[in-house]
Structures are given as C-alpha cells and as structure tokens.
A = this chain, B = another copy of it.
C-alpha cells in the first residue's frame, strides 16, 4: 500500500513541488506525522507544524505560500480540504481490496456461525465471530464486523456496514401485566429490515417487530450503543449519535438528526427534518417538520434556551436577595 507524491497529484489533479518520487504509506494528523505520512493543512493555526514535520508529503491549497523552507514534498491542489476525503477513500479502497482477499476463506471458517438457510450477497465481507441466523438475507458489498449477530429471518440490504457487536433482531420488549403483578412475555414474531447504504455503530441493538418489520430505511446512519425498539421505523438519511433510545412503535421521519442520549417515546411520529439536541426527551407529538427541540420534556430550541437562561438567573436572584 504505497503511493508516490506524483501519483497523488495525478489522482487529485494537483501539482508536485519537491520530490515526485516521495513515497506515502498512509495519512496522519500533522501534529503526529512520521516518515511515509501524508498530511494536509486546512486550518492556518496548524501552519507552524509544517516547517519541521517529519511527514513525507503535505497537501496544500494552490494559493499557499510557505513563510520558511518546508522539508516535505508539497502537493498543491485547488481545495486541500475537499481533496482529503478523496484521498482517504482511495486508501480505504486499497485496504479493503486486501481484506476482500480473505473472503472465501471467511465463509468456510469454523470461526463464524452462518445458518445454511442464510443467503449472503456477492462481495459481502463477514468477519470472524459473526452470527447469521436461519433464513437471514444479506445483500451485496456489506461489511459485518466481529461479533455482529443477525438473528433469524432479518433482512439487510446492499452496501451496509454493521460494526462490532451490533445485534439485529433480538426480541422486542413486550410484556402483558398479569393480575398478580408478574408479566407475561408477548412473543415477538416479526423481523428487522435494514435497507441499502445503512451504517450501524458498535454495540447498537435493533429489536425485531412483534409482527411485521422494524424498518431502517435507506441511507440511515446510527452511532454506537443505540437502542432501537420493536416496530420502530426510521426514515431515509436520518442520522443519530451514540447512546440514543427510540421506544417501541415510534416512527422517525426522513433526514432527522438525533443527538447523544436523545429519546423518543413509544408510538410517537417525528416529522421529517426534525433535530433533537442531546439529552432531549420527546414525549408528546410534534406536528411541523424541521423543528429543533431540546429539553425533557422537549421544547423548541430557542424557547428552551431562553427558559434555561431564566432558570439559571433564578439561582442567582435567590442568592442576591439573601
């Protein structure tokens, strides 16, 4: 996995200032770079690092003029920041190509538990220690990292990434209270359907539906350690940070954004383009789309901040009136 400064310039439509044969083996942050690294300079406050960096290649804007000699080879491009994403993907593709070489072996290894009745699409990588239950269907070009569990009858689309220890299709939390104070389990017979291009963070759990399907629509991105309860539906391109909880039968719209520790009560419908700040608890229905909500119970963002400013002064006025 080596690439020269010239090859990088060709890839990015840039120009080399220095040694075109300088070899790069991977990217690094400029403050931690060593020989073989490529770094980029996007924020001027990091400029002082470039004059004594050990990095082999620096990616800079075409307009950048160094104030002192720079030890590294420069690759000048129109927009250094935008080029970084391209470059990272190029490295990522190279790494995956290496990883994919192991795929056939992977399927045959005793280190995975894959039901015979499961169907797995072409190009899908399954790490050791993954469990794929009976009648599961997984699409093409997915990545299932170590410890992922996909329980019986669940369906995963194409190009999905499930990180370590994700659980898809554990039972929903459904119990019928009995007269003696005990609870009776309500069997959970549905499944989970995850559409294409979904990424789910490490340790997140998605419960199977009581009947029908818990639905994660196309393009959804979910952080680590989230709890998605049974019968939930999450709309296209919604993103949520880590440690978010969605209670049973809630329906989250498209393009929503949920901060860490945000919670949505059961059976609520959250309109498209809603944002929930961190620690927000939505417990009553929202009608209009596009709102930003904060607090518990959730208020509109501006109202919450004004009320909180007042709350904060409450303590101060008490203090001063003593």
Contact = CB atoms under 8 A, between A and B. Distances in A.
Given A113-B128, A260-B263, 20 more contacts: A85-B176, A111-B113, A113-B129, A131-B146, A131-B164, A133-B146, A147-B149, A161-B185, A163-B171, A173-B223, A175-B199, A181-B254, A182-B237, A183-B219, A203-B203, A245-B261, A299-B312, A299-B315, A308-B315, A311-B311
A110 B113 contact: no
Interface in A221-244: 221, 223-225, 227, 229, 236-237, 239, 241-243
B318 A314 contact: no
Interface stretch (A5-13, A21-29, A66-74): A21-29
Contacts of A184: 85
B131 A131 contact: no
Interface stretch (A45-53, A275-283, A285-293): A275-283
Contacts of A32: 212-213
B219 A245 contact: no
A16 interface: no
A152 to B, nearest CB: 9
A202 B201 CA distance: 15
Interface string A286-305: 00000000011101000111
Contacts of A309: 315, 318
A149 B129 CA distance: 10
**Band of interface residues on A:** 35 or more
A45 to B, nearest CB: 13
A43 to B, nearest CB: 12
A89 interface: yes
Contacts of A85: 176, 184, 186
A158 interface: no
A307 interface: yes
A95 B188 CA distance: 11
B88 A187 contact: yes
Nearest to A222: B173
Nearest to A159: B185
Given A203-B203, A242-B229, A279-B281, A89 B187 contact: yes
The 6 closest A-B pairs by CB, nearest first: A307-B315, A306-B315, A92-B187, A310-B314, A227-B242, A113-B128
Interface string A210-221: 111100000101
Contacts of A318: 306, 309-310
A197 interface: yes
Contact of A151 (B146, B176, B221): B146
A305 B295 CA distance: 13
A304 B92 CA distance: 46
Contacts of A245: 241-243, 260-261
A189 interface: yes
A118 interface: no
A205 interface: yes
A29 B316 CA distance: 46
Contacts of A205: 164-165, 201-203, 224-225, 242
